[in-house]
Amino acid sequence: MRTTTHNLRVDGSRLWSTILETATFGATPAGGLNRLTLSPEDGQVRDWFREACEAAGLEVGVDALGTQFALRRGRDMSRPPVACGSHLDTQPTGGRFDGILGTLAGLEVMRALNDAGIETEAPLLVINWTNEEGSRYAPAMMASAAYAGEFTTEDILSRRDAAGISVGEALDAIGYRGTEPVGARKIGRFVELHIEQGPILEAEGKTIGVVEGGQGIAWFDGTIQGFESHAGTTPMPRRRDALLGLAEIALAVEDVAKAHGPSAVATIGEAVIGAPSRNVVPGQVRFTLDLRDPRSAILDAAEAALRARIDEIAERRRLTVALTRIWRKEPVPFDPAIVDSVEAAAGALGLSHRRMVSGAGHDACNLAGQVPTAMIFVPCRDGVSHNESESATQSDCTAGANVLLHTLLALANAPA
């Protein structure tokens, strides 16, 4: 006989205490977190997560890329588990909620089910994916991408950080190179709870974002080659200034994104002058470009328009510009049935909500091509994320965890 679950709720105070407790691992003076993937601080929070999951009766396994899987058994263990989770690594100046909320809310859901003595038909699984952020190692979301078959385990293990330390060496250093083959643990459904990392929910006074999919993303590396010359003796008309070329390109990037709006966004996030000197006209600049939109055709059109603008700038300024696309992720639609389940859970709980598209990349976006997937968003203050001031309220975190709870229950107890 099944226990009635419509009145079941998570313990919001316990979830909040858990978030604050884990915020001691890699805490910064400004109140944020510096918990780069596979760092000693990441090792500490992984140990904490493993021990907390085991205390909740979950069976914890680790795959060859360090991803942690915490299983709660169901009545029918022949069914693939319904999974949730996110990540526990952060940016160098990250906040306390990005990824962390989704992982710890998954743990809280398991604790709430334990407290109520509820057994689900299908097993449940909480996942902590390795290196979602991509700050120390590229690519971002590398473990979920490898799980989805986009990279081999050997490829990811060989990636190196700026200090020359490989992923494999870093895993060994913190004791998290697991024995499970990547992708061997099958997942039936996946739901990821996350802060929005944008301003829409807060601006509209909505508590829950029902996420229908993720934006397409294209990443580029660029090099502008000019000519180094004396800053005091080279007349302005004779200069081939690579930095001024970048300045024009940056404005062109803004123009192109606006012209292909309203959802297109583009960012030059890194720029480095080659051999910089105070009294030398810059001869080379390297830069990165991030281009995003929920529509594949707009990504194509924006890239073409930007390349045309760059060619014009390069010719006029007598520069050589190379722009190489190094990665592209197509727009990701989430599973309509799971999206409906998230929306139904929010409605049944009486929570204001809206459908939306994720502007950021997430592990759920990698999994969506292999596993039926959806996401739940809650607001964050001023839409700020990847910043030490990142903040969310206890009530919103609790609301998101309750939507996660009831979505997982609906999926795990649905007919096989």
| Pairwise CA distance, residues 105 & 129, whole Å | 14
pLDDT, position 117: 97
pLDDT, position 5: 86
- How does the average pLDDT of the chain come out, rounded? 97
| Pairwise CA distance, residues 145 & 91, whole Å | 19
The residues, ordered by sequence, that sit 6+ positions from 165 with a Cβ below 8 Å of its Cβ are 173
- 370 burial (CB, 10 Å; 0-12 / 13-18 / 19+) is middle
The residues, ordered by sequence, that sit 6+ positions from 325 with a Cβ below 8 Å of its Cβ are 218, 219, 220, 303
Map out the domains of the chain with their CATH numbers: 12-214+331-412 (3.40.630.10), 216-329 (3.30.70.360)
Per-residue pLDDT tens digits for 307-354:
999 999 999 999 999 999 998 989 999 999 999 999 999 999 999 999
Q: 37: helix, coil or strand?
A: coil
Cα-atom radius of gyration of the chain, to the nearest Å? 23
Nearest residue to 323 via CA among 400, 268, 381: 268
| Pairwise CA distance, residues 108 & 290, whole Å | 35
Amino acid symbol at 225: Q
98 is in an annotated binding site: yes
Residues 89 and 131 sit within 8 Å (Cβ to Cβ): yes
311 is in an annotated binding site: no
87 is in an annotated binding site: yes
pLDDT, position 4: 66
Residues 227 and 241 sit within 8 Å (Cβ to Cβ): no
Per-residue pLDDT tens digits for 35-75:
999 999 999 999 999 999 999 999 999 999 999 999 999 99
In 130-188 the beta strands, taken as DSSP E runs, fall at none
The residues, ordered by sequence, that sit 6+ positions from 96 with a Cβ below 8 Å of its Cβ are 19, 20, 23, 31, 32, 33, 390, 391
**Two structure tokens written together for 255:** 């123009």
353 is in an annotated binding site: no
Residues 63 and 178 sit within 8 Å (Cβ to Cβ): yes
6 is in an annotated binding site: no
Per-residue pLDDT tens digits for 345-387:
999 999 999 999 998 989 999 999 999 999 999 999 999 999 9
Per-residue pLDDT tens digits for 181-232:
999 999 999 999 999 999 999 999 999 999 999 999 999 999 999 999 999 9
